[in-house]
Each structure stands twice: as structure tokens, then as C-alpha cells.
Structure 1
Amino acid sequence: MNPILFAVILVVIIAIICSVMLVIASTVMAVKEDPMFPAIRECLPGANCGACGYAGCDGYAKALASGEEKRTNLCVPGGAGCAVQVAGVLGVEAGSVEERVAVVCCGGTCEKTQARMNYEGVHSCAAAKLLFGGAGACAFGCLGNGDCVSVCPQQAIRIEKGVAVVDRDACIGCGLCEKACPNHVIGIFPKKQKVFDRCSNYNRGKAVMDVCKAGCIGCTKCSKVCPEGAITMDHCLAQVNPMKCTGCGTCVENCPTGCMSFTEKL
């Protein structure tokens, strides 16, 4: 027999045998998918942000389908509508979803602080952070290079006056910006919270004012004047309890540096 023809026939026979083996293996070793999984996964928005505590939407859907997870209200981006749909698939009662939103805890705009060096590297907050903590005078402030902007699935963040600003109406509270910020100036807060300490500098007094005129100096005045007792101090920074805060603005009016501010104010 012609050696070339023999080689071709041999390869074809091997291919057929391998194909049969693969078909048998795929049938015998196939992992059966829970029929509930695709129905639940369809209800989730697909942000894969991890805000639910699982590795993306697939992880959360699998946990719900298997019964490992009972809570149908963990998807913050999907909101109440998503919780109702998931509960409908599972045949259970939907839990309430607390709306959350990203807040930039830094008021150090170009008018309030200054650069301590001229950074000419990669336009990235993570890269700038590696170079002596960034170009800004305040090592705790917003680096302003937009890593948060690039990861936001809703285009809800922009850089304004050197500081990230969040569009509260567009933000879905997924938390991707919080994870991307190397200085941790972005936090995910209850949407009902109206007042924030727009500072992340854990120093106090002159050390803060030397680098930013909008920083929190830890004077505790806001906590003393709050009529609801909604403000406590944590490492010289004010922490607002959204369950107690009524948004009266007393703390905002009495803050000597203006770091206590309403969410709409930069």
C-alpha cells in the first residue's frame, strides 16, 4: 500500500476513535446543571461586581440554586426588582434591598490642595501611588487619575477639579470603584445617608491643614453639635450613623473646614 495513503487512513482511524472517546466521556462525566441556575442567572444584571459576597453573578446564582444561599436581596446593582424576580423563581418571599451609592471621601480639589511634585508617569492612580504615594500634597487624598472612572460600568464617575465625583442617580452601588481606588477614598454607603465627612486623612489639626484646606482636623465639633447624636469620631474622622442622621445640616454649618458636607456638594 502506498505509504502516504496508509498514513492518511491511520490518522482518520485515530481521529474517529478519539471522537468516539470524547463523546462517551462528555456523556459519562458530564456535570448536570441545576435547572434553577439559568433562570436565576437571567434575573441578575451581570455586573459581576462581587457586592453580594460571591465571585460574580454566576457564583451567587449557583449558591441560590443549590440552596446554599437563602437571601435573594444581596444584589445591590439589581435592586429590589432583581430581588423580586429571583424570589419568584425560587418561590420565596423577596427581601428588601438597601440602595447604596459610592461616595468620594475627599474634598481636596485643586483649589483646596496642591501638588508636591510633577508626576509624568502612567496615567493611573495605582501607578502614581507607587511613586512616593502620589503627586498630591495629601497622601490620603484622591489621586485624580481616574482608575475608578475606567472600571465604572455605568459611567457614573468623572474627574472634576482633580477629584473623582460620583453621579448618584447613575451609580448602582456595585463597589468596583471602591476596589479600584488605591487610596481607599471611595466608599459604598446607604443612599439614604445625606451627610458625609469628605476627608480620609487620619491626621489631625495642623498636619491636615498643611496639605489640604478642606481636610478634617478632628476637632469633634460636628459630633458635639449634632442634635441626634448621629456622629462619632474614628481616628480623628467623623463617622455618620445613617439610622440616626436626619440631614438637618447642623454639622455642615458648624464644620470649620467644610469637610462635613451634603452628598451633592464637592
Structure 2
Amino acid sequence: MNFILIAVIVLGGIALISAVILYVCSKKFAVHEDPRIGQVSAILPGANCGGCGYPGCSGMASALVKGADAGSIDGLFCPVGGSDVMGQVADLLGMAVANTEPKVAVVRCNGTCELRPRIAVYDGLKTCTAVNSCGAGETGCGYGCLGCGDCVNACAFGAITMNQETGLPEVDEEKCTSCGACVKACPRNIIELRKKGIKNRRVYVRCVNKDKGAIAMKTCKAACIGCGKCEKECKFDAIKIENNLSYIDPEKCRLCRKCVEACPTHAIVAVNFPAPKVRTETSGQNVESVASSEKVNPSVESKQKEIKE
């Protein structure tokens, strides 16, 4: 009986001492969390995509609260939630948020199956990262899309799909949140986040091939050859040629589309612009009638001269 009592007393004493130690440690090493972090996290969409530059929405919430304490949250933006969510966060923190123009992912490769023929067959792990590590892939272009869909798998919003006919990824502007996950997933850096532009209209070079013109054209008929015609045509200094490749600065571009007409390989594309007006048959007939009347007038004048003579 004494042994049982002693064991109970000893165990009770150990439990009491451990409880005291744990209590002291919890008070001494306690980490205080600002309640606003939880409130901001509740407003954020919870996608945890990393598009804001932080590992998740909780990291973004902490950064926003710290920024508010420092006096500004400029430069912090949630691409998924957009301006509406950032406005709610700003109201909660009592801050002003700068208006950020929305962006969208664009695929800077126009090397379709027709324009960029296959010269080899890859037999291995079907990921862009794996194919890229093996070389140029199934085509002769070492810069273009590999077509394995790493960007599709990386997109958590279903905004990217592979076009089976062209072999290229396509971005749904309505679903794209510009989180940047596809940009990070592409081993060849052909996906870029660009401003949506006025009325969602954009002009950009759909090529990243840095080979010289003759070599680039052998691998892809739609490649940029770095001829510089677009640069000469642009009146706003928005186009630069570097490493045999043309690039259009979205900040300077005025969407005049003169560079699109000047490009001999059609590597520059204009998105969401209205289709050019096609002359109707009626207008064509009118033009022909006017032209015919113009041709008749000289003969009438000659006849009148003959009569006078």
C-alpha cells in the first residue's frame, strides 16, 4: 500500500512540476499574432497560388498588416482577388490602395504544328521540364513551346488548355487571374504576364527565338527574324531589338498596329481588335461604275473635239 501511495505522490509531483514549466515557457515564448492578420486572411480568396509573391494568403495577410503599420501597402496586390478584394483590405486596414491595371498571361509562341514541323520523336517523361532538359525537343526550335502542358497542370483556375490542332496552350482571359503559376512552370519562359490593355486589346511579339533570322526561319515560319522593320515603323519608341528578337513595351505601346502590318513573318499579333471592314459587293459595284465613268469621259471629250474640228 505504501508503494502505491509513494508512486502516486511521485507521479503527481512530476506532473505538477511539468505543468509549471510548460506554463512558464508558454508565457515567456508566446508569439503574439495581430488579430488583423486573421481578418485580412478571411477577405483574401484563399487560393494560396503565390501570385502575390508570398508563399500563401497567410503570408500576404502578414505583409499587408506590416505594410499598414509602416504606413503604406503600395506594391502589395492580390492578382486573384483583384481590385475589389484589395479595396476591402484597404478599408479594413484604413489604408489607400493604388489602382493596379489587371494583367493576363500570354503565350509568346506561334509555332503551330504546321509552321514548326517535327523533326524528332521524344520517348520519355511527358513534361516540359523533362523534354527541355533533353534538348530542343521534337522540333528544331530550342526556344518554342514544348507542348507537354506543364502550364496547364500548374494553373489552379482552369484558365489554360492545350489546343490539340496547333499543339500550343491557349489562355482563357475570363478565367486567368494573372497569378503567375504558368509563368513559373514554363521552362522556356514563353509565357508572360502583360497588361490586359484598353478593351482587353494587346499587341505583342509572339516569339522568343533569339537565333539569327535565317536559322530561326528554318525551324519556324512564324519566327521573329529581328529585321527591325517593326522598330522603324513604331513612332512611340515602344519596340526594341535585342539578341535578334523584337519586344514591345506595353507601357509605351499605343496600339496603333503599324508594327503588325510591317512584320514580314507575322510574328507580331494584335488581340481583341475589331475585324477590318470588308468592302461589300454593292460598294465594289459603285467603285467599278465610278471607274468606268472616269474611263468614258476622255472618249466623250475626244469625240466632242472631233465634232468641233
TM-score normalised according to structure 1 size: 0.87
Counterpart residue number, 1:31: 31
Q: 1:7 to 1:250 in 2, by over 3 A?
A: farther
Q: 1:23 to 1:135 in 2, by over 3 A?
A: farther
For structure 2, which runs of at least 5 residues remain unmatched after alignment? 274-309
One of 167, 184, 190 as aligned partner of 1:162: 167
Q: 1:130 to 1:13 in 2, by over 3 A?
A: farther
Aligned length: 265
Q: 1:25 to 1:202 in 2, by over 3 A?
A: same
Q: 1:68 to 1:210 in 2, by over 3 A?
A: farther
Question: Post-superposition shift, 1:37?
Answer: 0.7
The amino acid across from 2:73 in the alignment is: R
1:213 paired to 2:221: yes
- Residues 28-107 of structure 1 aligned to structure 2 (within 5 Å): 28-66=28-66, 67-68=69-70, 70-71=72-73, 73-107=76-110
Q: Deviations over 1:58-117 (max 9, x none)?
A: 222112212358225522222111221111111112211221111111001111102232
Counterpart residue number, 1:194: 202
- Aligned sequence identity (%): 42
One of 256, 259, 268 as aligned partner of 1:248: 256
Question: Post-superposition shift, 1:54?
Answer: 2.9
Would the aligned equivalents of 2:52 and 2:179 in 1 still touch at CA under 8 Å? no
1:136 paired to 2:106: no
Measured in 1, the distance between the counterparts of 2:71 and 2:128 equals 36
Measured in 2, the distance between the counterparts of 1:7 and 1:211 equals 84
SS for the counterpart of 2:189 is coil
Measured in 2, the distance between the counterparts of 1:26 and 1:244 equals 57
Question: Post-superposition shift, 1:50?
Answer: 3.3
Deviating more after overlay: 44-53 vs 104-113: 44-53
Greater relative CO (CA pairs within 8 A, separation 6+): 1
Question: Post-superposition shift, 1:9?
Answer: 10
- Residues 247-266 of structure 1 aligned to structure 2 (within 5 Å): 247-263=255-271
Would the aligned equivalents of 2:73 and 2:95 in 1 still touch at CA under 8 Å? no
Question: Post-superposition shift, 1:218?
Answer: 0.4
Higher helix residue share: 2
Q: 1:85 to 1:119 in 2, by over 3 A?
A: same
Counterpart residue number, 1:224: 232
Measured in 1, the distance between the counterparts of 2:250 and 2:119 equals 36
- Residues 104-183 of structure 1 aligned to structure 2 (within 5 Å): 104-160=107-163, 161-183=166-188
TM-score normalised according to structure 2 size: 0.76
Q: 1:15 to 1:141 in 2, by over 3 A?
A: farther
Larger Rg: 2
For structure 1, which runs of at least 5 residues remain unmatched after alignment? none
Deviating more after overlay: 55-64 vs 191-200: 55-64
Measured in 2, the distance between the counterparts of 1:120 and 1:10 equals 69
Counterpart residue number, 2:292: none
Q: Deviations over 1:111-153 (max 9, x none)?
A: 1102232112112111111112422221100111011001111
Deviating more after overlay: 175-184 vs 114-123: 114-123
Measured in 1, the distance between the counterparts of 2:99 and 2:192 equals 21
Q: 1:129 to 1:21 in 2, by over 3 A?
A: same
Measured in 2, the distance between the counterparts of 1:16 and 1:137 equals 74
Would the aligned equivalents of 1:48 and 1:55 in 2 still touch at CA under 8 Å? yes
Question: Post-superposition shift, 1:244?
Answer: 3.0
SS for the counterpart of 2:219 is coil
Q: 1:152 to 1:12 in 2, by over 3 A?
A: farther
Measured in 2, the distance between the counterparts of 1:211 and 1:12 equals 80
SS for the counterpart of 1:215 is coil
Measured in 1, the distance between the counterparts of 2:148 and 2:261 equals 31
